[in-house]
Structure 1
Amino acid sequence: MIKRIKRRLNLLFNNPYKLYKRNNELKSLFSHHKQAVILGSSSSINKLDVTMFSKEFVITVGNFYEHPQIEEIKPNVHIFAASHPPITDEVYTNWWMRCNQTLPDSTVLLVEKRDKKIADIAFKDRKVYYYSYGGSLPVDFTKPVMSPWSVTIIALQLAIYCKIPTIGIVGVNHDWQCIKPYTHFYDHDKPSLEYYLHKEGIEISYEKQKQPFPKERLYREYELYQQYEKLKLEAENSNIRIFNYDPFSDFDVFNKKKLDELLK
């Protein structure tokens, strides 16, 4: 029995087509939407009424499921980036079990394939789609996609893949990586990735702006912005427009627009 299960898992992970073939469904599920809203976790979220987007195609990421009005927002898709150090399997399992309890039942999940084992435990009663890093543009979720420096990069790729004509980002602001404190709309002392890392005694270097190689932080920021620029061009080539609708965000890769323009 155990050998048979292992054999099946090996076939699954060694055959990308079998793993991703359901991802064609993503396009058919969401391509009818005219607008997509990607909600990030920056502290500006606390200044906005994000329930106003509940009728749009809403994509949330990371810890956003901790938003106190998540049931009203009812995101269509929630995305997790791939696991990476210093995050342990135990931290990931606790984090995702909490997500499973909190996220609306109707929300589907998009998880990187290396974390399938943990997803099978935490999200066993949910619809989960898998993607993988290591691809290139043009974006196609039936194949590996561009490896991200931020989970928002995966969210943008998904919206572009679904051919959504207008994509809005809210709660995305990367300035903290170089010049501002590491904060989010949620409290790090309450259930969140940071909370579970602290519980295991794992220090987050970003919190104290204490990375061993400060220049590396700047280089990473540059590479992240380059990814956004590539996706901006990819979207324009497909007649897709991306705007930053967050009035409190300084993120300037995409043109700024007022929130009320998104809801017209």
Structure 2
Amino acid sequence: MIERIKRRIRRILNNPYKLYSNNEELKSLFSGYKQAVIFGSSGSIKKLNLTSFANDFGITVGNFFEHPDIQKINPKIHIFAASHPPITKGVLKDWWTRCNHILPKNVPLLIEKRDKEMADLVFDNRKVYYYSYGGQLPIDFTKPVISPWSVTLIALQLAIYCEIPRIGIFGVNHDWQCIKPYTHFYDHDKPSLEFYLHKAGIEIAYEKQKQPFPKERLYKEYELYQQYETLKLEAEKNGIKIYNYDPFSDFDVFEFDKKLEIIKK
């Protein structure tokens, strides 16, 4: 028994990427798409009809599974960032249990490896891929990838890794952190990460902030934009173009191609 355990430990040590070595499947599954569409959760989302992208490589993140048209939008994968304070294990379990109930059953998940124990518990009936922070360029999901300041950066890295020639983003507008209130397309008083945090009696710092914002927030914003700029250059180097499709977003790292035709009347 002891020798078996030792052999297993040696195998793991000799292959530190074993947990997510099957991520080569991601490229084979998704590289045939001509367009990837990444769906964030800013308030502009509720003004748009997003169902016309159902046949594209749709990537949803975070709390987007609460979108009322999630079935019609038909995402091909959903991504979670690594859990972090103030998210507790109890909040994470409640939030992910809700996701497992709402997200279409055929949609696989991409989850940071530190949350594997909870993912095994909650998503035991669903395909799950794992990734980890701490990597660098070039992007390779069979190894650690760039640690993100926003989960959208993991979605962008995935689309670049899968060599999708055109990437569009919706619901990504980080400017709110400096000039606008803290809002999403969903109600924080209904099931959502914020709902479960409130239920656990945990305050959300962003909701309490008022102008002028702390300079530390601006420093983080600067680092966030730098990460987007880095991925923009990496995409262009590989012949990939990234656009901001959102007609209500001012996020200008990427060229605008605002999809006015999908604004709800």
Q: How does 1:1-264 map to 2 (within 5 A)?
A: 15-209=15-209, 214-259=214-259
Give, in angstroms, the shift of residue 13 of structure 1.
8.7
Letter in 2 for 1:109: L
Distance of aligned partners of 1:10 and 1:108 in 2 relative to their CA distance in 1, 3 Å threshold: farther
- The whole-number CA distance in structure 2 between the counterparts of 1:225 and 1:125 is 37
Give, in angstroms, the shift of residue 151 of structure 1.
0.1
TM-score by length of 2: 0.92
Give, in angstroms, the shift of residue 258 of structure 1.
3.0
Runs of 4+ in 1 over 4 A off after TM superposition: 7-15, 210-213
Letter in 2 for 1:190: K
Do the aligned residues in 1 keep the contact of 2:33 with 2:57 (CA within 8 Å)? yes
- The whole-number CA distance in structure 1 between the counterparts of 2:261 and 2:24 is 31
Distance of aligned partners of 1:52 and 1:90 in 2 relative to their CA distance in 1, 3 Å threshold: same
Give, in angstroms, the shift of residue 111 of structure 1.
0.1
Q: Secondary structure at the match of 1:82?
A: coil
- The whole-number CA distance in structure 2 between the counterparts of 1:138 and 1:126 is 29
- The whole-number CA distance in structure 2 between the counterparts of 1:249 and 1:12 is 45
Give, in angstroms, the shift of residue 69 of structure 1.
0.8
Name the Cα RMSD after superposition.
2.3
Do the aligned residues in 2 keep the contact of 1:46 with 1:185 (CA within 8 Å)? yes
User: Structure 2 unaligned runs (5+)?
Assistant: none
Q: Deviations over 1:33-70 (max 9, x none)?
A: 00000000000000100111101100000000000111
Q: Deviations over 1:64-98 (max 9, x none)?
A: 00001111111001000001111101100110000
Give, in angstroms, the shift of residue 213 of structure 1.
7.7
Do the aligned residues in 1 keep the contact of 2:247 with 2:260 (CA within 8 Å)? no
Q: Secondary structure at the match of 1:16?
A: coil
Q: Secondary structure at the match of 1:110?
A: strand
Q: Secondary structure at the match of 1:37?
A: strand
TM-score by length of 1: 0.93
Letter in 1 for 2:91: V
Letter in 2 for 1:184: H
Letter in 1 for 2:143: K
Give, in angstroms, the shift of residue 189 of structure 1.
0.4
Q: Secondary structure at the match of 1:242?
A: strand
The count of residues paired between Structure 1 and Structure 2 equals 259
